[in-house]
Structure 1
Amino acid sequence: MSIKRALLWVAFWTGMALLFCMGIYFWPAKEIATLFHIGTYSWNGKEYALQFLGGYIIEQSLSVDNLFLFLLIFSSFKIPASFQRRILNYGIIGAVILRLIFIVVGVAAVRRFHWILYIFGVLLIYSGIKMFVKEEKTPDFNADHFIFRLLGKVIPVSATLTDEKFFVRKNRLLYATPLLAILILIECSDILFAIDSIPAIFSITTNAFIVYTSNIFAILGLRSLYFVLERLHNAFRYVKYGVALILVFTGVKLAVLYFKIEISLGLSIAIIFATLVLSILVSVLLPQREL
């Protein structure tokens, strides 16, 4: 996918998310309640729209770091670009399903055990600080990776790629190709990513509908965003620090609830958005210098 086409798709999915946000804002709740004779139906469009926007910005911000990991995985295993698209497509489908499970379980846990938000807050602060101070190291991805060994215990794994296939038959035996192992590796990294991103959105809202839809709209644009970062990743070298600060902020926002301190939704969105934009600007203005 060319950089121009990728940018157009990123703009398209961002536009769709904003249209959905507007739909939430202007949702005719009263008219629907009257039409279906629902006397108790209520819908705070302005509040829900802000929550969706905040969740979407958080998810998009945090996904950048995850996409860098995807880039490392693909480059380490020398996966052709045409094969990357197939893996990303299946990865997105898997992410949609896994996020639904995580969000349903997470929302249920928060509603039953409200104090779990404080734990999420502490974990997010820890993750953010760790990301900020941890020295950048290239992960060790090779054919001896534990995913390959684990998959090999279930089904034989062929040594070479066979077109875009996940499975291939050799001498009447079914083999998994390395592409399947890499897909599993991508899904595992997304699970780890969700451990940070979903609690971060809980700092904005615990409404399952808002959490899930903001996640889905962010996920839908991931493939296009990946191909943008693939070509411009050096221009986003300091975004990592912005993501770390966002994690710390969302963690603090959750943690201070223990002291009955609540940071407003509008202020939260402004801080998160400003942090992301500032990290991008610093990356652009200081491309060859260390902070």
Structure 2
Amino acid sequence: MTWWLSTVAVVIALLVLDFVVASRRPHHVGMREAAIWSTFYIAIAILFGIFFWVVAGSQQGTEYFTGYVVEKSLSVDNLFVFVIIMAKFSVPDVLQQRVLLFGIAAALVLRVIFIALGAAALSAFSWVFVIFGLFLIYTAVQLYRHRDEDPEAGDNPVLRWVQNHLPATDDYQGTKLVVRQNGRRVITPLFIVFVAIASTDVLFALDSIPAVFGITRDPFIVFAANAFALLGLRALYFLIHGLLDRLVYLSTGLSVILGFIGVKLILTFLHEDVNEAIPHVPTEVSLVVILGVLAVTTVASLLRVRSHPEERAHAGRVLGGEHDRAPQRSAGDR
């Protein structure tokens, strides 16, 4: 309980710090500022991991660092989608920090809920490992199949409903979400962006939580890995905004990682509940495999773009496809 209370307090303090920094003076974030804040948050995550390793033991420490690497790599895909949402809705530079912070806060809340549900399910039914594993394998296959596509608004039923049923202004109204226009209350594009970010976070939580449960069963480690991976997203967004387009094999690499963890989850169930002779993948091996895939993915991407500079990376899609895209009405059509 002490670990939980102290870690939650640190996470909340860092989140408040982020809100204060971003809200005090809305502005465009430059590379230098983004690099400083990114280094700060990564350093905090590493220092926490070292302290946790010393106090809790090498096994728990390895599980934390492996979970952190998994969540950090998946969070880069989050950034891809955030970039797409920002561009689609033409979010002004001065509002982008606020949108990112809302997305991070929403993601943290959703992950806490999914962690609690996942831990309870795994504690009650060991076969949930198989369900999680199959879901990750399915996600990996879909992500690989649609690796050259980007998510569409038509994939998101919540956003589609909001756009089709709620009247909206054509332009942003500062930081306001709802304004009065012609005697009635209408939403602003910022409200729609918040809905897009929050509903997208739900989809990311559905694969990131089972993925980290494939590394450890400890709900605290799952929470800590998620929280520290998400906290630095605001700064990381501005730091690697330009680099994202060059990671042309990122979706392929993430699909390999998700598929690997999915198989690991199924092997864990078979090893513990069917036959101990069935091999079990140690956490140390998982860490090496995941880091190796990320390294190969990054190097291969940069080499590919160097020889084919016209290529651009895509976030990949799990839901929908080219033939499923539904036409969307713009705010001016209402």
Q: TM-score range by the shorter chain?
A: 0.7 to 0.9
Please show how residues 119-138 of structure 1 align to structure 2 within 5 Å: 119-138=131-150
Residues 234, 156 of structure 1: CA spacing in aligned structure 2 closer, same or farther, 3 A cutoff? closer
Of 36, 45, 48, which aligns to 1:17? 45
The Cα of 1:156 is off from its aligned counterpart by: 3.8
Task: Report what 2:286 is aligned to.
Answer: 268
The Cα of 1:190 is off from its aligned counterpart by: 1.0
Task: Report what 2:299 is aligned to.
Answer: 281
Contact 1:107 1:208 in 2 (8 A): yes
Q: Distance in 1 between matches of 2:107 and 2:269?
A: 32
The Cα of 1:257 is off from its aligned counterpart by: 2.0
Tell me how large the CA RMSD over aligned residues is. 2.1
Please show how residues 80-229 of structure 1 align to structure 2 within 5 Å: 80-141=92-153, 147=159, 149-150=161-162, 153=165, 156-171=167-182, 173-229=184-240
Q: Which amino acid aligns with 1:251?
A: G
The Cα of 1:99 is off from its aligned counterpart by: 1.0
Moved more, 44-53 or 2-11: 2-11
Instruction: Map Cα deviations across residues 139-171 of structure 1 (whole Å, 9 max, x no partner).
Output: 4449x9862643664x54222211122122335
Q: Which amino acid aligns with 1:284?
A: L
Unaligned 5+ segments in structure 2 are 1-28, 272-278, 312-334
Contact 1:13 1:221 in 2 (8 A): yes
Percent identity over paired residues: 35
Q: Which amino acid aligns with 1:264?
A: P
Moved more, 125-134 or 206-215: 125-134
Aligned to 1:175, the other structure's residue is in SS state: strand
Count of matched residue positions in the alignment of Structure 1 and Structure 2: 272
The answer on 1:64 being equivalent to 2:76 is yes
Q: Distance in 2 between matches of 1:22 and 1:246?
A: 24
Instruction: Map Cα deviations across residues 79-130 of structure 1 (whole Å, 9 max, x no partner).
Output: 1121111111111111111111110111111111111111111111121122
Q: Distance in 2 between matches of 1:162 and 1:270?
A: 48
Task: Report what 2:266 is aligned to.
Answer: 255
Q: Distance in 1 between matches of 2:250 and 2:36?
A: 21
Residues 122, 112 of structure 1: CA spacing in aligned structure 2 closer, same or farther, 3 A cutoff? same
Q: Distance in 1 between matches of 2:93 and 2:290?
A: 32
Unaligned 5+ segments in structure 1 are 28-43
The answer on 1:238 being equivalent to 2:229 is no
Task: Report what 1:35 is aligned to.
Answer: none
Task: Report what 1:33 is aligned to.
Answer: none
Q: Distance in 2 between matches of 1:111 and 1:140?
A: 36
Of 48, 58, 80, which aligns to 1:46? 58
Q: Which amino acid aligns with 2:114?
A: F
Q: Distance in 1 between matches of 2:255 and 2:151?
A: 19
Q: Which amino acid aligns with 1:55?
A: G
The Cα of 1:4 is off from its aligned counterpart by: 2.7
TM-score using structure 2 length: 0.76
Q: Distance in 1 between matches of 2:157 and 2:193?
A: 10
Q: Distance in 2 between matches of 1:160 and 1:126?
A: 39
